[in-house]
Amino acid sequence: MHSMEGRHVLIAGASQGLGRALAFAASARGANVTLVARSEARLREVAEELGDRAYTIVADVAGPSAAARIAGEASDRFGAVDVLINNASTLGAVPMPALFDTTDEVLRDVFDVNLFAPFALARAVGGGMVARGRGVIVNISSDAAVEAYEGWGAYGASKAALDHLTRIWAAEVEGSGVRFLAVDPGEMNTAMHAAALPDADPATLEAPEVVAARVLRMIEGSAGNGARLVASHWAAKEVA
Amino acid sequence: MKATTLTLPPARARRARHEVRLLAIDRRTGAATRHGRIADLPELLEPGDALVLNDAATWPASLFGRCGDAPVELRLAARRGDTWRAVVFGDGDWRTPTEHRPPPPQLVPGDTIRVGEDLSALVLEAEGRLVTLRLDGSIHALYAYGHPVQYAHADRARRLEDVQTAYATRPYAFEMPSAGWGITPDVLHACRRREIAVLTLTHEAGLSSTGDAALDARLPFPERYEIPRATIDGLRGRRVIAVGTSVVRALEGAYARFGELVEGEHETDLVVTSRHELRVVDGLLTGLHVPGESHYELLRAFLPEPLATLAVQTAIASAAYLAHELGDAMLVTTTR
């Protein structure tokens, strides 16, 4: 019901893992995709495979004026952003320290990337979505936002804050035609997962490509504004 | 009070969007119907009205560079494909009012202005300080080196996000379409809930000042605009409220040229003044402007004298309003 064909999908954190897989999946469904990441080399590699319907922006989403620059550049290339996927995130220090060993700097850095940057990007493109009466903003969350895993303090707290931001924003735009969604993609075989849990057995982890296909079906489908979707359950549950 | 003595204090610090004050003026009498806030906009409009926004994002249009040894500032003023029109300023920074900046060196075709390692500008044509350029570098580089055009009366330099309306979309404007600064997505959402159509177009709001009296007299330059089909269909049969002079210029300019609104990208050189008979637009949300400003001339198309003067006198008398691009707003509609 919300086809990706011809839509402009902006993915922050698109050079590897889930973001990269989302870029390929959205492109395969006919979307114009803007990919944002810090690594120029990895980004170029993805863009070369995607061809003309992909545009890359090398940027740190937490940098000064990053949201306004990214939104402007992307919209100059492909027009208004129809779908924003806030996928860029950081674990902070690895191995992940207990909260007593977490410095203020690490906590701030994690919140800058995982909360402030998605907030700024959503604000930069979301107002235009309300003016047009349509658009989807997807904030990638984690089950660490819900469960209290030891060592996941900075990351988990930032994702919990992002979840709550998503819910409140959803309440504020209810009825406008714009949807805010939170997605917990589950445990995936990615570089980030390996950095967090190096001893995990890859065979127990989902391929990001499989998860990306599910996430896009959720966006295209009728997932309601404010839903928190758990990709591994293939189910939407409202955080009530 | 003579019209030429009317002044409003300029806003030095930007009002937060929700703090923007709104003076509602009745088009028939020039009298105030409300001294309020921008959040009052939905209830000051009628169900069935169409509110038309300029959704242009603002380019980082100011580029500092060197032509040979001479420091210059380029202020981009229009884009036509890969070529850009720009006004050249001499040495100085944003704190210096444009009319007090030293003149730039006389550029000639073939000159190159080096902005950064991966961005330079080749001069194709030059007419005084007005030049046509080819930018050699990416849009990414333009965003990396460029800054918003600054206002000398402001209290601090503006960041790129400080010169975007809340609903800015495609970079198309060279100075912020500032009439809509206070309009938050929540105001738009409230308009829709009141059955007020919210529609968009995109207009290339250009520079307001060049630092050269002869060039200033030619402002505004012809400007591009694009009206989507959904907006043309959406405003049919409705009372049309334009947010900003750029929306008036796009809609009235399209009608003046084609006799109807047409979709796609076009250019207009229409200058709306008191002599212009409005054909599309019925009401206006604008900043507070005083006699002598081009925006005030446009206001007089909605409020023939002495009503425009009366409206400005009302704003001054209440002492509640700030002028200029960073200030408050005035809504001019026929009150039912």
Domain architecture of chain A: domains with CATH: 8-237 (3.40.50.720)
Which of A76, A81, A173 has the highest number of chain B CBs within 10 A, making it the mutation to test binding with B? Answer: A76
The structure tokens 């660490």 sit at A144
CA distances from B183 to B37, B40, B165, B212 (A): 10, 10, 8, 33
Q: Do A76 and B170 touch (CB under 8 A)?
A: yes
The residue extents of the domains of chain B are 3-58+158-333, 70-145
Nearest alpha-carbon partner for A6 in A21, A36, A26, A23: A26
Rg of chain A on CA atoms, in Å: 17
B231 interfaces chain A, CB cutoff of 8 Å:
no
B188 vs A79, A120, A130: nearest CB: A130
Does the pLDDT of residue A233 top 80, yes or no? no
pLDDT for B97 equals 76
Distance from C-alpha of A58 to C-alpha of A76, rounded to nearest angstrom: 16
Which segments in chain B show pLDDT lower than 50?
Answer: 1-3
In the CATH scheme, what is the homologous superfamily, with its name and number, of domain B3-58+158-333? Answer: QueA-like (3.40.1780.10)
B28 interfaces chain A, CB cutoff of 8 Å:
no
Does the pLDDT of residue A236 top 60, yes or no? no
pLDDT for A234 equals 61
Query: What ipTM, to 2 d.p.?
Result: 0.93
Quote the mean pLDDT of chain A.
93
Kindly list the catalytic residues of A: 155
pLDDT for B5 equals 66
Q: What would be the CATH architecture of the domain defined by B70-145?
A: Beta Barrel (2.40)
Question: What are the backbone angles phi and psi of residue A114, rounded to the nearest 5°?
Answer: -90, -20
Q: Which whole number is the average pLDDT over A115-131?
A: 98
Pairing of strands B283-287, B329-333: antiparallel
Residue of B nearest to A177 (CA): B189
Please check whether residue B177 is in contact with residue B203, taking contact to mean a CB–CB distance below 8 angstroms: yes
Please check whether residue A115 is in contact with residue A162, taking contact to mean a CB–CB distance below 8 angstroms: yes
pLDDT for B217 equals 82
C-beta atoms surrounding A15 within 10 Å: 24
Does the pLDDT of residue A237 top 60, yes or no? no
CA distances from B151 to A62, B31, B247 (A): 27, 31, 22
Taking any CB pair shorter than 8 Å as contact, residues of chain A touching chain B are 57-58, 64-65, 67-69, 71-73, 75-77, 79-80, 120, 124-128, 130-133, 172-173, 175-176
Quote the percentage of chain A above a pLDDT of 90.
84
CA distances from B302 to A205, B96, B248, B274, B334 (A): 65, 34, 11, 8, 10
pLDDT for A239 equals 36
Among A59-68, A229-238, B158-167, B298-307, the range scoring the smallest mean pLDDT is A229-238
